[in-house]
Chains A and B, each alone.
Chain A
Amino acid sequence: MTLARPMALLAELTHRCPLRCPYCSNPMNLTRKHDELPGVAWRRLLDEAVDLGVLHVHFSGGEPAARADLEELVAHAADIGLYTNLITSGIGLGESRVARLGSAGLDHVQLSFQDAELRNADRIAGLEGCFVRKLRVAERFRQLGVALTVNVVVHRQNLAHLEDIIELALNLGADRLEVAHAQYHGWALENRAALMPNADQLASAVDIVAMARVRLKGKMEIDHVVPDYHAERPKPCMGGWGRRFIAVTPAGKVLPCHAAESLPGLQFETIGHRPLADIWRNSDAFQRFRGTAWMRTPCRGCANRKVDWGGCRCQAFALTGNANNADPVCSLSPYNAEIRARADCESKAPPPAFRYRREVFMARKPD
């Protein structure tokens, strides 16, 4: 069997971010500004990615606009034929920067909102005034004709506003809305009890999305993936380990998934030390959970093993203590009953206070 080529590269340009969302997908251990890769290294990486077959690049963070060279990187990616996507909170994107991103050839922007209700949105983001600023940023991108996806991470503290969230995206002129349930890793796992929806909230969300999809067909697409803990089978995390996806951290570590650093005993290569193609094909980290040879029961021999690829390795490790186990959100996992019961119990109790993401010092030099 020939090795698949990667389709997408997630470029986490920085961990700096003005928001402090309690479900942030960045690792608990954040990279400081002075450890970030320089632009020239990112440009070389993008060249290598294209040669390897990458088609989409997602510029993300942290807040990618915290990097002054964001426009240059987007321009370079567009020049070499990549489809460019900017994943942003919108904070830091004034009129002139948005215009520069447009001229750089940005294809698509994914703008986050924390809720449709101003006060709750600002409270979840941990930054007063951010909701209104985001509205302006959406308008700027629309005027420029850049395709817009509104992304809203949903959980027990905003799901009751789902209908308003759909209206908000529609009023902003979004082409797509992503209703993304929090993924319980890192910060979100710390805040799971404050975020986990109960079964009734979830069922109502599924109905609301189904009705809106019919009503808005051809006008706005809605992506909605049922959250892990309520599903029968796990998701094929990253489309399978080392099959489609590469993530690169602000410090230049090359990962099969953006959360992979949470796994113990894996050595990650840093760009510049070894060609990207070699890292993709041969490195220990990419080989470790590629394919099905690493699997144990119940994944080994399961009819779905090449559909879900055993689910998420990071979740398996975080919840069972062993990254080789089946993702415990799978109903076939021996850990499933206990984990479901715990999540169910958390979702019914009053939500505890958020534990906000730590701030990263924005511009401190090393001592």
Chain B
Amino acid sequence: MTWRVAETSRPRLPHHVKLRFDSVRERWVLLVPERVLLPNGSAADILRRCDGETSVAAIADQLAGAYSVPSSDIRSEVKELLQGLADKGFIEP
């Protein structure tokens, strides 16, 4: 069973999933077995905060501050992105 991402979840990247800044291509890349995912700017901003300590709600608050938008507007987007990654095993609770 996959886990449901909640606002209180504190997601982190498992050992085998690596978020790196690729200085050759000048962009963030998410390295997983056999594949390279290319997160866009806001997805990379979310992934960089998945440290196992920051909650989903706090991640949304931080992004809201950075983008100057109400936090309530982006909570569901943050949850949706993380749920997609959780379903593939690329983030852990």
A positions within 8 Å CB-CB of B? 5, 7, 51-53, 55-56, 81, 83, 85, 107-108, 110, 145-147, 149, 175-176, 217-219, 221, 223
Contacts and interface: CB of A to CB of B under 8 A. Distances in A.
Contacts, number: 56
Given A53-B24, A55-B22, A221 B16 contact: no
Contacts of A56: 31, 34, 36
A42 B74 CA distance: 47
B18 interface: yes
A108 B36 contact: no
A176 B24 contact: no
A56 B88 CA distance: 19
Contacts of B2: 217-219
B59 interface: no
A2 B21 CA distance: 21
B52 interface: no
B14 interface: yes
B24 A218 contact: no
Contact of A55 (B3, B14, B16, B29): B29
Contacts of B16: 107-108, 146-147, 175
A219 B88 CA distance: 8
A59 to B, nearest CB: 14
Given A53-B24, A85-B33, A175-B89, 5 more contacts: A53-B25, A55-B29, A147-B33, A149-B34, A218-B1
Contacts of A149: 33-34
Interface of B: 1-3, 14-16, 18, 20, 22, 24-25, 29, 31, 33-34, 36, 86-89
Contact of A147 (B3, B15, B24, B25): B15
B88 to A, nearest CB: 7
Nearest to B3: A218
Nearest to B21: A81
Contacts of B14: 147
Of B3, B34, B86, B88, the most chain A CB neighbours within 10 A belong to: B34
Nearest to A144: B15
A146 B89 CA distance: 14
Contacts of A55: 20, 22, 29, 31, 36
A212 B3 CA distance: 18
Contacts of A175: 16, 33, 89
Q: Nearest 3 pairs between A and B by C-beta?
A: A218-B2, A147-B16, A53-B24
A182 B25 CA distance: 34
Nearest to A223: B34
A257 B55 CA distance: 44
Contacts of B88: 221
A258 to B, nearest CB: 15
